[in-house]
Structure 1
Amino acid sequence: MILMGILGCVTGCDVAEKTNRNSVSKKKAITIAVSNTPLSAPFFIAEKMGFFANNNLHVKLERFDGGVKCFNALVNQQVDFATASETVVMFNSFQRTDFAVMASFVESDNDVKLLSLTPEKYRQLDHIANTRIGVIKGSASEFFLDSLLIMHNKTHLPIKRVYLTPAQLIPALLDNQVDIISAWEPLGYMLLEQIATKPEIINSRGLYHLSFNLIGMKQSTVDNNDKQALLKSISEAIIYIHKHPKHAQEILSKTLNIAPSQLQYSWADYTFRLSLSNALFSNIQTQSQWAIDNQLVPKENRVDFRQVIDRQLLETFNNKEAGW
């Protein structure tokens, strides 16, 4: 009788699980544009570990190279949500305010660095005078360089900016077209793999805080219950990352087809958490003033960035999780 009861329970549980999977698969898919980077880890983990399905969501991840392409897919109505950095949010806010940041899910204060084949030459920043520095125009790469010069009172130094694409930075450095590059990961790791010396010029940890954010359109067709379920799935993935970092890295290594050593190189720099902190708002404001000063955006088009940050959704989610 006991055995029959156990078998009945197992069979019943299997049927219930199968029924749940079938009901989820029949739902309209929620599409999310995610960047092909370890920063998107919570989304890849949520997909692999079944957290989306467990929260009654049918989610399809559409992968793109970089947050700019993810954001463009969102505003072109190719996807329901997108992931992008705060810099992408800042630049696009000068053009439109029909989108909203729903939550940040990862931060790093050591993602952008100055790199060189001969870093020892530039340990003192005075020595970067008259150098050729490869940067990505109007991006975190250029913002980081300017922030570094301002912090160390070196804005007067004569330097030549060489504007390149991300794919051109390392080849230009290796081919002696530039002396230094201002680059984000994994370019630092990729360069380290090719030269014998650690390429980082100066320890700039804490100078620039990168965040990756979940973004949606204000007039979204996705209802609030599914948005809450989406945040819950990402939250569960973040908890899993904290509890099982090695397995999380294994999943990412296979998903992104990158070496485990690359993940280990920068993993400690990532802080995975759901938030919408005042630091994000301040960071966007600081970057916007830099963009105005450098004539990268229209000076007359001042933006109230509170228009593109949706605090209510995350606050509601946090209150539910806390049982309030």
Structure 2
Amino acid sequence: MRPIGFGLISLLAVGLYLLIVMGNPKPVFSAPLTIAVSSTPLSSPFILADKYGLFKKQGLEVQIKLYHGGHRCFEALMSGEVELATSSESVAMYNAFKRNDFSLIATFVTSDNDVKLTARRNAGIESLEDVAGHRVGMIKASASEYFFHSALMLHGVEPSGIIPVYLPPEQLGPALQNNEVDMVSLWEPYANQVAQSLKDEGFQLSTKGLYRLSFNLMAKRDDVQAKHSVHTALLKALEDAIELIQNQPDEARAAVSDYLKIPASEIDSYWPDYHFHLTLDKTLQLDLLSQAHWAISSGYVEQLVAPDFRDFIDDTALNALHGQMGGPGGTP
């Protein structure tokens, strides 16, 4: 247990930081804002902005709705359940082949070790070269599916010999435990939870650095201009939350742990892999295009030409925020 003095100092530090950040409240926007947020620590900026009143500081009334996965957040956005959503770039790529009525307005975190491959030892899999003929659980049209196929390509394994099993993220762990699949491609916190539940009967393959996942804030395209000032204010709240993560990492992790009901020890194990920052750089465009080329060449989609992802990235709100802060803009 940490000494009481240290805890008091930490609380005082957070309190002082929030007093500085909060300052004088901004004018209140008239309409409340509902955001679909994936229930993962990747969403920490939204969680902290909600928990510490940073949205209210910007005059925003925000309702956070948690979903299991960015693919479900995207569905909620498109169905009109919410006005904004968080999602991986892979979900954006898959859906860009089907529709063009959404925009990515900011990337708020990246990680090269969030999606992991977990296998049962008794399945006879020691490396990706052994996965042919086995059942692999994954989430369709998500970072889970793209990551798995990327790993196959990098190891020279033909995907035709794989038996894909598509399940929701919360069902993949039980499926692996019950021998319904032999391996799963799954993001945190599920990946860590699955590995812990299997104990010595399971293991995770070494895949760090194989894939750069980004989590992005998405809006309906028609709302980008109509709600420009709202989006800019929201990004300012996220910027303040990211600053809190950087200045008070221990307290930020504890707050996220409490919000998502995930043990702090679990979050500690993958928190160092997260790079929280607000951006819309060329890397996002390149990642989307690379993934789209895979989708075309693999026959995953019927189209023969990739979408022009420049049409799906809108940096007006981010540029407005950086203009206010005197920093760099979004996409060059």
How far 1:214 sits from its partner (Å)? 0.8
Shift of residue 150, structure 1, vs aligned partner: 1.3
Greater Cα shift, 304-313 or 126-135: 126-135
CA distance in 2, matches of 1:300, 1:153: 24
RMSD (Å) for aligned C-alpha atoms:
2.7
Change (3 A) 1:191 1:69: closer
Cα distance 1:123–1:310, how it changes in 2: closer, same or farther (>3 A)? Answer: same
Q: Distance in 1 between matches of 2:237 and 2:206?
A: 35
Gaps of 5+ in 1: 1-16
Matched residue, 1:32: 35
After TM superposition, the structure 1 stretch with the greater mean CA deviation from structure 2, 123-132 or 252-261, is 123-132
Question: In the alignment, residue 205 of structure 2 is paired with which amino acid?
Answer: I
Report the alpha carbon displacement of residue 199 of structure 1 after superposing the two structures with TM. Answer: 3.9
Worse-matched range after superposition: 187-196 or 207-216: 187-196
Q: Is the 8 A contact 2:118 2:195 kept in 1?
A: no
Shift, 1:69, TM fit = 2.3
| 1:306 paired residue among 303, 310, 318 | 310
- Structure 1 range deviating more: 167-176 or 273-282: 167-176
The answer as to 2:280 corresponding to 1:269 is: no
1:104 to 98, 104, 107: 107
Measured after TM superposition, the shift of residue 323 of structure 1 is 6.5
Q: Could you list the structure 1 runs, at least 4 aligned residues long, displaced by more than 6 angstroms after superposition.
A: none
Q: CA deviation at 1:32?
A: 1.6
Indicate how the Cα distance of structure 1 residues 101 and 159 shifts in structure 2: closer, same or farther if over 3 A, else same: closer
Change (3 A) 1:222 1:253: farther
1:170 equivalent in structure 2: 173
Aligned counterparts of 2:273 and 2:65: Cα–Cα separation in 1? 25
Distance 2:52 2:234 in 1: 14
- The corresponding residue for 1:48 is 51
1:222-261 Cα offsets, whole Å, 9 max, x none, are: 5322222111110010010111111112211221122112
Q: Is residue 191 of structure 1 aligned with residue 179 of structure 2? A: no
Measure, in 2, the Cα distance between the counterparts of 1:156 and 1:39.
Answer: 29
- The residue that corresponds to 1:297 in the other structure is 301
Structure 2 gaps, min length 5: 1-21
SS of 1:204 mapped into structure 2: coil
Q: TM-score, normalised by structure 2?
A: 0.83
**Equivalences for residues 6-21 of structure 1 within 5 A:** none
Residue 42 of structure 1 and its aligned partner are, at CA, apart by 0.4
Q: What's the CA shift for 1:120?
A: 10
Per the alignment, in what secondary structure is the counterpart of residue 116 of structure 1? strand
1:101 Cα offset (Å): 0.6
Using the TM superposition, give the Cα deviation of residue 310 of structure 1 relative to its aligned residue in structure 2, in angstroms.
0.6
Aligned to 2:95: 92
Kindly name which structure, 1 or 2, has the bigger radius of gyration based on alpha carbons. 1
Of residues 257-266 and 311-320 in structure 1, the stretch that sits farther from structure 2 once superposed is: 311-320
Q: In the alignment, residue 312 of structure 2 is paired with which amino acid? A: V
- Identify which of 221, 227, 232 aligns with 1:223: 227
**1:3 matched residue in structure 2:** none
Cα deviation for residue 169 of structure 1 reads: 1.8
One-letter identity of the residue aligned with 2:228: N
2:185 aligned partner: 182
Tell whether 2:274 aligns with 1:252. no
Q: How many residues align?
A: 306
TM-score of the two chains, using structure 1 as the length reference? 0.85
1:239 aligns with 2:243: yes
CA drift of 1:121 comes to: 5.3
Identical columns (%)? 38
- Read off the aligned partner of 2:271 and give its amino acid letter: W
CA distance in structure 1 between the aligned counterparts of 2:76 and 2:136, rounded to whole angstroms: 31
Q: For residues 160 and 90 of structure 2, what CA distance do their matches in structure 1 show?
A: 26
Judge conservation of contact 1:188–1:200 (CA < 8 Å) in 2.
no
- 1:79-124 per-residue CA deviation (whole Å, 9 max, x = no partner) reads 2211111111112212222221110001111111221121895444
1:87–1:139 CA contact under 8 A, matched in 2: yes
* 2:324 is equivalent to residue 317 of structure 1: no
- In 2, are the aligned partners of 1:133 and 1:178 still within 8 Å (CA)? yes
Q: Tell whether the 8 Å contact from 1:99 to 1:217 is kept in structure 2 after alignment.
A: yes
Alpha carbons 1:94, 1:301 under 8 Å: kept? no
1: CA distance, partners of 2:198 / 2:67: 29
